[in-house]
Amino acid sequence: MTQKIFESYKLGPLTLTNRIVMAPLTRRRATAPELKANDLMALYYRQRSSAGLIVAEGSQVSPEGYGFTGSPGCYSRVQTEAWKKVTRAVHEEGGRIFLQLWHVGPWSHRLLQPEGKPPLSASVVVPVGEVLTPGGRLPYEPSRSMTVNEIHATIKDFGLGARNAMEAGFDGVEVHGAHSYIIDQFIMDGTNKRNDEFGGSLENRSRFLFMVLDEVMQYVPADEVGLRLSPRQVKIGMADSKPEDTYGYIVNKLNSYKLAYLHISEMMTQGERLGEPERTVLPLYREIYDGRLISCGGHSRVSALQMIDSGYADMVAFGKPFISNPDLVDRLKSGNEPTEPDKDTFYHGGPRGYVDYPAMDSEAQA
């Protein structure tokens, strides 16, 4: 296998130091009540700036897009100013960083929503599971179907988030269209039961996504905009009846957008990556997509090298390995085994399990 993954790579106007991407990871350590980035977050991203590209954690584009307590926003002046310390930290280390624009849709609760209203969705759904609220962990409740006015307002919210991200110094933005959140709610026929111009046909169900992209590109050049999709990975109770047709249609149409990249999220384990490589959808999309592809989900050093060498992906994203290995790029280069993360510290809390994972040199000296 070659070592192309460690070589510099041209991404639109950017030259990345390698083809390794730090995937967006919700860590829920933003400062309340403003939901703004802080010094701890700046240190966290600084430590991981050897990634060719960091995609910072999903950041809600509006108060209505909030559903995960402690997750940062990108819709207010205070939030925009606070993100500047993060982008400055990464750039001081020679890194590149995009901000992921996020709206959770129905994965929220009225206790987290403005005026205590039910959360928004393409159509009424009741998510499975519980959500952390000011009143403790509570079952999800039915969402409400968005009015056409609310749809257009949310599209504008994505544009505002994009504008704020660029003002904050990010090198680009990634639109979160994956994992059953608001954009995916419109895409999937299992969650979109509308009978207006945003429901029914494939063209109508994908209309919201493409209007969001059009709005975002009012503020950010196309080659600095990424999109994340998860064609086969949805939350329990959420699905599309013909995902190959649905997402194939979308991916083909994306060719005309000339985006920085298309980020495909597949929730696979390392064992599945190596033992069942046929499960990946990347070969299918490589055939129909002309742009850059990022593969994410369950990658090891071996599968990442294989993915690049096969040509199925142009970059490979790692999620959890970056949590516990701030120097993951060096570990992958040397073949050293990554440190396993402490799952109990994934969310909330302070520095423990966030910025205290040692680099290889520190481990050797311990």
Taking alpha carbons only, the member of 83, 23, 93, 74 closest to residue 53 is 23
What pLDDT is stored for residue 269 in this prediction? 82
Burial of 13 (C-beta count, 10 Å sphere; 0-12/13-18/19+): exposed
Structure tokens at 191: 């969650």
Instruction: Tell me the C-alpha distance between 316 and 293, whole Å.
Output: 9
Give catalytic status of residue 44 as yes or no.
Answer: no
Instruction: Tell me the C-alpha distance between 332 and 20, whole Å.
Output: 10
Residue 174: strand, helix, or coil: strand
Residue found by looking up tokens 């993951």 in the block: 328
C-beta atoms surrounding 91 within 10 Å: 16
Task: Bin 323: left if φ > 0, else alpha if -120 < ψ < 50, else beta.
Answer: alpha
Instruction: Tell me the C-alpha distance between 22 and 6, whole Å.
Output: 14
Instruction: Tell me the C-alpha distance between 131 and 127, whole Å.
Output: 10
Structure tokens at 255: 């060719």
Is the separation of the CB atoms in 8 and 17 below 8 Å? yes
**Half-sphere exposure of residue 152: CA atoms within 13 angstroms, side-chain side:** 4
Taking alpha carbons only, the member of 74, 65, 87, 88 closest to residue 36 is 74
Once rounded to an integer, what is the mean pLDDT over residues 132-148?
97
Please state, rounded to an integer, the average pLDDT across all residues of the chain: 95
User: b/e for 264-300, b at 16 or more Cβ within 10 A?
Assistant: bbbebeeebbeeebeebbbebbbeebebbbbbbbbbb
Once rounded to an integer, what is the mean pLDDT over residues 324-343?
95
Is the separation of the CB atoms in 215 and 272 below 8 Å? no
CATH code that applies to domain 4-365: 3.20.20.70
Which of 253-267, 268-282, 311-325 has the weakest average pLDDT?
268-282
Structure tokens at 158: 């994505």
Task: Bin 335: left if φ > 0, else alpha if -120 < ψ < 50, else beta.
Answer: left
Q: Considering 181, 219, 249, 285, which one is annotated as catalytic?
A: 181
Instruction: Tell me the C-alpha distance between 223 and 262, whole Å.
Output: 11
Chain centroid to Cα 322, Å, comes to 14
Q: Which residues pair with 358 in a beta bridge?
A: none
Helix (H) or strand (E) run with residue 262 in it: strand 261-265
Q: Of all residues in the chain, what percent carry a pLDDT higher than 70?
A: 98
Taking alpha carbons only, the member of 81, 127, 134 closest to residue 104 is 127
Whole-structure pTM value: 0.96
- Residue 366: pLDDT band with limits 50, 70, 90: very low
How many residues can be counted in the chain? 366
Once rounded to an integer, what is the mean pLDDT over residues 116-128?
97
C-beta atoms surrounding 8 within 10 Å: 10
The string of pLDDT tens digits covering residues 81-99 is 999 999 999 999 999 999 9
What pLDDT is stored for residue 365 in this prediction? 42
What pLDDT is stored for residue 364 in this prediction? 46
- Residue 362: pLDDT band with limits 50, 70, 90: low
Q: Is the pLDDT of residue 277 over 80?
A: no
Please report, as a single letter, which amino acid is at residue 18: N
What pLDDT is stored for residue 322 in this prediction? 98
Please report, as a single letter, which amino acid is at residue 21: V
> Domain-by-domain residue ranges, the chain?
4-365
Which of 196-200, 249-253, 275-279, 283-287 has the weakest average pLDDT?
275-279
